[in-house]
Amino acid sequence: MKILAMAASLAAAVVLSEVATASQSAKSVSATSDVTAAQDYLRRKYDEFEPLPNGQFRIFGLAYISAWAPLTAVDPSITRAYLPGVTFFQTVIHSPSVEYMKVEALVAVRRTTRGNEFRSCLSPVYDDVSPKFLALFEGISVQGHSARVAFTRCIAQLLAQITYEGRVGEVSGDGSTYRAELWHSELHWRDVFVQFSDAGLVDSVTLFKSVR
């Protein structure tokens, strides 16, 4: 009986191990798929370049060149609580401008029943943040003062990822309006405002130049 029990226990352990391995493999394939899909999207959106015979590239405008700019996954703990079905990546878009040759950027991949949806935005140091990108956060339910402070900080942290020497300063608010400071090195660069409805849903997310 003891031998049979040990055999059954061993078989169960093997099955659990195989299930865990299959789960890890599925996650790996999913992550790889998101990266490939995001790269394809970026190539289509930022395509102002052409390859040269010497293996280099001629850049006319904003250009995503995957050989020069791999995607790096953003720490999922920043957004997991609010957008669990969205994966964020950080990368670089090249520009012909001598003053700003590499533009930090974010790309979001959301899986839906209709296929992947994509949003991207460029560094707030370079340009205004895309309203379409910020609209990702609209409609999310955030109840209570502390949760709204954390949510507002989350968005500012995400944008700080693509702000040169970016960091989040003071986060404050009350009622329906919350604000987070976005700093660029020693400059108070932008203020992130989040507006909530009476029901506690995110109405809008906007950025404004800070007033010093």
Q: Is residue 189 part of a domain?
A: yes
Find the helix or strand (DSSP H, E) in which 5 lies. Answer: helix 2-45
Position 23 scores a pLDDT of 40
We report the CATH number of the domain holding residue 150 as 3.10.450.630
Spans in the chain with pLDDT lower than 70: 1-32, 211-212
Tokens of 196: 């909530």
For 196, the domain range is 140-212
Q: Is residue 179 part of a domain?
A: yes
Whether residues 92 and 157 share a domain: the answer is no
Task: Look at residues 122, 149, 169 and tell me which one is the last residue of a structural domain.
Answer: 122
Whether residues 44 and 98 share a domain: the answer is yes
Report CA dihedral (108, 111, 117, 123) to the nearest 10 degrees: 0
Whether residues 44 and 105 share a domain: the answer is yes
Position 22 scores a pLDDT of 38
Burial of 158 (0-12, 13-18, 19+ CB in 10 A): buried
Q: Which of 20, 42, 150, 148 is nearest to 89 (CA)?
A: 42
User: CB-based contacts of 170: which residues, under 8 Å, 6+ apart?
Assistant: 180, 181
Whether residues 104 and 39 share a domain: the answer is yes
Position 210 scores a pLDDT of 75
Whether residues 150 and 210 share a domain: the answer is yes
Whether residues 94 and 171 share a domain: the answer is no
Domain count, the chain: 2
Position 27 scores a pLDDT of 42
Q: Is residue 11 part of a domain?
A: no
Position 30 scores a pLDDT of 53
Q: Is residue 105 part of a domain?
A: yes
User: CB-based contacts of 110: which residues, under 8 Å, 6+ apart?
Assistant: 83, 85, 86, 87, 116, 117, 118, 119, 136
Whether residues 88 and 48 share a domain: the answer is yes
Position 201 scores a pLDDT of 97
CA 190 from chain center: how many Å?
Answer: 19
User: CB-based contacts of 11: which residues, under 8 Å, 6+ apart?
Assistant: none
Q: Is residue 177 part of a domain?
A: yes
